[in-house]
Amino acid sequence: MRKQNLGTVKFSTVVYAGLLAWSAAASAQEPRSISGESVRPAAGSEIWASTDSDGTDVVKVLGKALLNFEGREKYAGIAIEHAKFNPATGENHEAERIYLDLADHLGADWRWKARIGTDGKTLLGNAEFRKADWSQSVFVEREIVETEQGLARRIFYTFAGISTDVLLNDANTIALTAGVQEFSGKNERLHLRGKYVHVVRTDIGLSAQLDARYYHSTEPGEFDYFSPKDFVRLLPLIQTRRFSNSGWMYLAGAGFGAQHSSGGGWQLAKFGQLRLESPRSASDLDVFAEAIYTNDSISGGTNYDYLMARAGATFRF
């Protein structure tokens, strides 16, 4: 059994309890005003867990205290995360992160959100700027590589990209994404992705999709994460996305296709997704849960399986 850092666990517990205490104190007061607007405090938590067929397990637990919360598209506060990485080989690693957690509108048509922070040594997090209808977006993410060398040598990636939708007609859309992923060391990865979506039945939210993805690595095999020179995946999908009368969203999707990497042959590509979201119009809560299965990941190669699940809830006082 690998050793755990008890001091880190205690620190995480104390900080998380402090966040909840701060939020409770805020909730005991009447909403205050900043620049003439009411301040509506909230608190929330999230959990993120993954496992793969190589034996790597990752768990991240996050608590957040929001000074103001007006729904999933407008909030401001801080978040504390405790991350535990158990790689397939090598030592376990644990980390504490602190983030600014922000989201707001920019005019009537644009939205932005950012969770930017640090583990005390480097910048981490993600940010997105998008159209309100999700038709265009710019995004960036920075995170550690969850392999033995990635954790021991502190190998990070920074992924930045843009996406846009091309509406062909009411039933057909093409979504295009391009990005660059820079890793610690010399490797840079160019990503290109296109997804064709055909609406089969609007009454049940049923669509047929073809997801095509390609990436090229400039320094393949530099460290122990999966990094062929070229990788391509073609994945036909069936997806249903429905809303209840009260606005809850339910999504389910699955697909089988083919994938190929340099130095290997064509293999079966698999994907599955389940997702639940609270009503988008809700201003006093935000709840989500999601599970994803795939055999395509940054740390996996051939004969690989990856499962991720995450959930979160934010409640306004």
Per-residue pLDDT reduced to its tens digit, 134-165: 999 999 999 999 999 999 999 999 999 999 99
| Pairwise pLDDT comparison (301 vs 1), residue with the higher score | 301
- Bridge partners, residue 78, by sequence: 65, 100
- Residue 39 pLDDT grade (very low, low, confident, very high; cuts 50, 70, 90): confident
The C-alpha atoms of residue 267 and residue 27 are separated, in whole angstroms, by: 54
- The domain spanning residue 245 has which CATH number? 2.40.160.40
Number of domains making up the chain: 1
Residue 67 lies in a domain: yes
Q: List Cβ neighbours of 216 (8 Å cut-off, separation of 6 or more).
A: 189, 190, 229, 230, 231
- Give phi and psi for 11, each to the nearest 5: -60, -45
Q: Which residue range is the domain that position 259 belongs to? A: 6-30+38-316
Q: Which string of DSSP letters, residue by residue, matches 20-88? A: HHHHHHHHTS---EETTEE---EEEEEEEEEEETTS-EEEEEEEEEEEEESSTTSEEEEEEEEEEEE-S
Is the confidence at residue 27, as pLDDT, over 70? no
* Residue 1 counted as domain residue: no
Can you give the pLDDT at residue 297? 64
Give the pLDDT confidence of 217-272 residue by residue, as tens digits: 999 999 999 999 999 999 999 999 999 999 999 999 999 999 999 988 899 999 99
